[in-house]
Amino acid sequence: MLVGNFACVALIVSAWMHASYRWCRLTPRQQQACFGAVLGAAAATSMSLAVELGPGVHFDLRVALIEVAALFGGPLSLLVTAGLAAAFGVVLGGADLLSGLAGILVAAAAGLAVRGWLGRGRTIGLAAVPVFAALVGALSLVVLATLPPEAFRPVLAGFGLPIALLNVAAAALAALVMIYFRRFTLERDVLRAALAQAPDFHYVKTLDQRFVVTNQNLARRYGRGRVSDMTGLSERDLEPGERAEAALAAERRVIETGEPLIRQEERIRGEDGEARWYSTSKFPLRDPHGALIGIAGVSVDITERKRLEQELKTSRDVVAQAMAEMTDGLALFDREGYLLFCNQQYRDLFPLSAYARVEGAHIVDIVRAVTRNGERKDVPPDVPEERIRAAAGTLHRNKDETIPLFDGRWLNLRTRVGDGGSALVVVTDITAAKESELGLRRLAEKMKGLAETDALTGVANRRSFDERLAAELGRSAASGRPLSLLLMDVDCFKAFNDTYGHLAGDECLRRVGACLKEAARRPRDLAARYGGEEFAVILPETDAETALAIAGRLCRAVRSLAIPHAPSEFGTVTTSVGVATATEAGATTPAALVLEADRALYRAKAGGRDRAVLSSLPAVA
């Protein structure tokens, strides 16, 4: 009878574990009440199979069941279990009614204490089972104390150990079953929640391609309020004929080949006419022995992703078309200096280093190819590697630069650095503009030369002379170095013009001007036509004696031209030169220095012409 009692209790607890799977939709309090009712029924069954240990003394497993109700169900389960056990005890009646009710009360109170000590049932693990079982065994002996004294002693002596052991076994078994069941329930609830709340469409089918399990999302897609409404249906019950047959055919291939179908994309137009994209994967399900038992599938709505992909493709096409049609070269480098992308024009603009300008190439390698191949006219091919790396290091700077190429072309490189450290380089062929610029510069220089040059003689004109004399006089005053001025006049030039004509006179002045250019050989020397037949030579950093010697050579150079001049007493064209030196004359202004030179020139003419006279020294012929 004791074994039968134990077996019946185990059977009822096992039946509850399997039946409670259907109670998952009940509230927690409703589940606690049902749990208490099941354990109460188990207690009543144990009481109905009680073993008589003596006159009016019976044994059952109610204590273990009440403790299990308290520990794993809580106060509500304990109240229901203890209440049902007490009610069944009243129905049975008997001489031990009062002691039985007292034992139920003691067990209930002890159950609350055990629950509080072991964590209120929320963290009960396998390690707590031996402690719980031992407490129940000891409690079963305490409950015996509710018997009359004359019955307690012989029962304790004769049956105390078996009673305790049976309660220990019953409590341990029930606790193990509950712990296992709670873990199973937790895994089931997690899987159920994951399946039901997943945003995609999940399902499991049998080998005959009918739904066994679906999530709520899939049920709503087909207008079903509950997932159970999907059980037993197939694609033919849910989709139009052609689409259903295509889906079933794909599943049959998975069943026949055992190979999964991975991310098959399909475009489906809904009842509202809106087209949506789905990515579907289907996997074969196998039992532990490897036999095929079903199919699991998941469909993901990828409409938004496809829309973004299409927008990205359109944007890329627009950018690619723009880059292909633009005349400029375009290149984008990342913050580390690697080329992310470039258009063909960028490569075409650099024919000798185009092979190095590929996506993934580093700027150092590109600069090295440019340098070693002599692509830039302004950079020699044998520059050191350090200079190449230094030049590459300037990539991530906002700059505009113009570079000349080996083939005569000019390129403008505009570099702009983005917020993320990337560098955008735009390359423009500015050869035509550069040639126009150089042409304009040459023209400007020519115009400047014309503006500063005497058209007849080719030496500087009066305006240039005045500007240069003022500048050089300022330098002389600042440095303390001497500045000399030669003022020259062609002797009897009016008579020459009257005799030979103005054309001959112009030619004479041209040849005299050539002699002046020979005299003013240094970069800062200046030969100028002062006016009419008068000329001047500015000689910076030249003392009086040197200037007088230069003036004498100038007179001899003109005389050696042997230009016929019949009215002159010399028979050829000659010149007179006045020499003045700023430090010697004490002149501090251009006008004062010119005046000193003019006075010396007057003395040269008065002294017989064809000679040079220094304002403070004797004449030199």
pLDDT tens string 142-193: 666 666 666 556 656 656 677 777 777 777 777 777 777 777 666 666 666 6
Pairwise pLDDT comparison (230 vs 119), residue with the higher score:
230
Which residues have a Cβ under 8 Å from the Cβ of 125 and sit 6 or more positions away? 179
What tokens appear for 133 in the block?
Answer: 């079982």
* Residue 489: count of CB within 10 angstroms of its CB: 22
Question: What DSSP designation does 259 have?
Answer: P
Residue 329, class by beta-carbon neighbours within 10 Å (0-12 exposed, 13-18 middle, 19+ buried)?
Answer: buried
**Tally of CA atoms within 13 A in the half-sphere of 388 that contains its CB:** 20
Buried b (16+ CB within 10 A) or exposed e, 206-222: eeebbbebbbbbbbebe
To the nearest whole percent, how much of the chain has pLDDT over 90? 32
What are the percentages of helix, strand and coil residues in the chain, rounded to 5?
55, 20, 25
Indicate the average pLDDT of the chain. 81
User: What amino acid occupies position 198?
Assistant: A
3-state secondary structure of 531: strand
What tokens appear for 423 in the block?
Answer: 């560098």
Model pLDDT, residue 618: 43
Q: Which residue has the tokens 């296992």?
A: 180
Pairwise pLDDT comparison (175 vs 525), residue with the higher score:
525
DSSP secondary structure letters along 582-596: HHHHT--SHHHHHHH
Model pLDDT, residue 503: 93
DSSP secondary structure letters along 489-520: EETTHHHHHHHH-HHHHHHHHHHHHHHHHHH-
Q: Averaged over 44-68, what is the pLDDT?
A: 68
3-state secondary structure of 408: coil
Residue 364, class by beta-carbon neighbours within 10 Å (0-12 exposed, 13-18 middle, 19+ buried)?
Answer: middle
Contact (CB, 8 A) for 600 and 615: yes
**Tally of CA atoms within 13 A in the half-sphere of 447 that contains its CB:** 6
What tokens appear for 190 in the block?
Answer: 């997690």
Model pLDDT, residue 357: 94
Q: Averaged over 588-594, what is the pLDDT?
A: 87
Q: How far, in whole angstroms, is CA 602 from its chain's centroid?
A: 85
To the nearest whole percent, how much of the chain has pLDDT over 70? 77
Model pLDDT, residue 542: 92
Rounded CA Rg of the chain: 59
pLDDT at 122 over 70: no
What tokens appear for 24 in the block?
Answer: 């998952």
pLDDT at 141 over 90: no
Question: What DSSP designation does 200 have?
Answer: S
Write the pLDDT tens digit of every residue in 317-339: 666 666 666 788 989 999 999 99
Structural domains in the chain?
A: 2-194 (1.10.1760), 201-306 (3.30.450.20), 326-434 (3.30.450.20), 453-620 (3.30.70.270)
Q: Averaged over 579-585, what is the pLDDT?
A: 77
Going by C-alpha positions, the residue among 179, 66, 173 that lies closest to residue 122 is: 179
Contact (CB, 8 A) for 248 and 208: no
Which residues have a Cβ under 8 Å from the Cβ of 241 and sit 6 or more positions away? none
Pairwise pLDDT comparison (14 vs 481), residue with the higher score:
481
Contact (CB, 8 A) for 410 and 431: yes
Write the pLDDT tens digit of every residue in 76-119: 877 887 788 778 777 776 655 676 677 677 777 777 777 777 65
